Amino acid sequence: MRHDLPMMYVMLLHLASLLRLRNLRAPHPALRQTGLQPAAAKHKGPTAMATSASVSNLFQPAPQTRARPLAIARWLEVVALLVVGIVVVGGITRLTESGLSITEWNVVSGILPPLTEAAWLAEFVKYQATAEYQIESGPAGMDLAAFKFIFFWEWFHRILGRVIGLAFLLPLIVFAARRAIPEGYIWRLAAMFTLILGQGALGWYMVSSGVGETDLTDVSHFRLSAHLLTALFLLGGLVWTTRDLRRQARDPAARPAPLTLGAGIVAGVLFVQLLLGAWVAGLNAGHSANDWPLMNGRLVPETDWAQGVVWTITHDPFLLHFLHRWWAWVAVAALVWLARSVRKTDRFASIAVNAAIGTMVLLGIATVMSGVSLWIAAAHQLVGALTVVATVWAMHTHGLARR
C-alpha cells in the first residue's frame, strides 16, 4: 500500500494534463467573438497542440491576464487553517498518548477505521506488541474501549493529513492547468506540496521510532520536533505567500516582500523557543516541575552534566524545561520589538503579535502549574501555531516597509 501514493500522484498529473488540453482546445472568449483562432492553433491545428501540451507545461507561469492571485491566496488561507487544525490535533494525539496506537502506515487502506469487532481486536493485538502497551498502558489496565479512544486521535490526525494533501494538490493542479498561477509562484507552491508529502513520511518515521523492536514507550523527541517544526514552517510559508498574493491582486506590478535582517533574527529567536517547546513536549518534561517561577523550589534546576554538555543540553528534561521557560522572555522581547516596528504600517499585525505572545506565556505558565492538563497544553500548542501566523504576517509587513 505504500506504493499507492506515487500511483495516485501520476493519475492526478494525467487528470491535470487532460484539464489543460481541454483548456487549450477552447478558444479564449475574446477570440470566439472575433472568430479568430489562437495563433498556435492556426499553424498546428488542435491535435498538434494537444500532443505538444505536456505535464511540464503545467509549470509555465500565467500570463498577466489569466493570473488569479486572489483566488490562490484564498485557497492557501484555507490550507493554512487546516494546518493549524492538524497541529492542535497532533498535540492532543501526543498528550493523550495516542500516537503509537496505529502500528502501520497504509495511505489508502488506512482511511477506514476498523469496522467490525474482530477488526478492532486485531488492531488492539498489534498495539499490544508495542513497548508502550507492555510497559505503560497494559499494566495501567487499558481495555478495548480505551484503545478505541486513543486510536481515534491518531486516525483523525492521519485523516486530516490526507485531507490537507488533497486540499493542496487538487486546486494546485486546476490552477496550474488553467495557467492561473502568477509568475514566480509555481515553484513555491511545488515546494510547499513537497513539504506536505514530506510531513507524511516524517510522521511515519517518527511513529516508527516507537513501534517494532524497541523498548521506547514514546517516540523520539528529535523526530517529534522535526515533525512539529516542519508543520509550523509550512504554515509560515503559507501565510507569507498569501500576503504576497493578496498584494499582487491589488497591484499586479507588486513584487514579493523581502526578508529583512531584523525579521530574520526574530524568526531565529522564535525558532529556538519552538524547538525547546517541542523537546519539552517530546520528553514529557512539562511534568518535571509544577511551580513557577521557581522550578521545584529552585531558580536553576540541579543538572547532571556527566554525559557531556551536548547530550545534556539536548536530552535533560529539567534543563530543557528551564531553558524553555526562560528563553520565553527573549522571544517576548524579540516579538514585542517586531510588533512595535510594524505598528504604524500594520496595526492589526502589531496587535496580533503582542496578543499572541502574551497569551503564549500565560498558557505556558498555566500548563506547568496545572501539571500539563490536556486542554491547557493543547491551547498552548494552538496559540503556538497562531503566534507563528502573527509573527510571519508582521515579518512580511516589516519587509514591505523597509523596501
Binds ligand HEM by CB under 6 A, chosen from 68, 157, 221, 325: 325
> Closest distance between ligand HEM and the C-beta of residue 123, in Å?
25
> Closest distance between ligand HEM and the C-beta of residue 170, in Å?
30
365 binds ligand HEM (CB under 6 A): yes
- Chain Cα centroid distance, residue 25: 38
Binding span for ligand HEM by CB under 6 A among 33-41, 73-81, 255-263, 380-388? 380-388
Binding span for ligand HEM by CB under 6 A among 113-121, 135-143, 255-263, 322-330? 322-330
Binding span for ligand HEM by CB under 6 A among 42-50, 64-72, 167-175, 354-362? 354-362
367 binds ligand HEM (CB under 6 A): yes
CB of 18 or CB of 300, closer to ligand HEM: 300
Type of residue found at 32 = R
Binds ligand HEM by CB under 6 A, chosen from 86, 257, 280, 353: 280
> Closest distance between ligand HEM and the C-beta of residue 272, in Å?
10
315 and 304 Cβ atoms separated by less than 8 Å: no
Q: How far apart are CA 97 and CA 287, in angstroms?
A: 14
> Closest distance between ligand HEM and the C-beta of residue 338, in Å?
13
Question: How many residues line the site for ligand HEM (CB under 6 A)?
Answer: 29
353 binds ligand HEM (CB under 6 A): no
273 binds ligand HEM (CB under 6 A): yes
> Closest distance between ligand HEM and the C-beta of residue 326, in Å?
8
CB of 345 or CB of 373, closer to ligand HEM: 373
CB of 241 or CB of 381, closer to ligand HEM: 381
Binding span for ligand HEM by CB under 6 A among 51-59, 166-174, 275-283, 391-399? 275-283
Site for ligand HEM in 225-254 (CB under 6 A): 228
- From residue 84 to residue 123, the character string flagging contacts with ligand HEM as x (rule: CB under 6 A) and all else as - is -------x---x----------------------------
Q: What is the binding site for ligand HEM (CB under 6 A)?
A: 91, 95, 228, 273-274, 277-278, 280-281, 286, 292, 324-325, 328, 331-332, 357, 360-361, 364-365, 367-368, 372, 377, 380-381, 384, 387
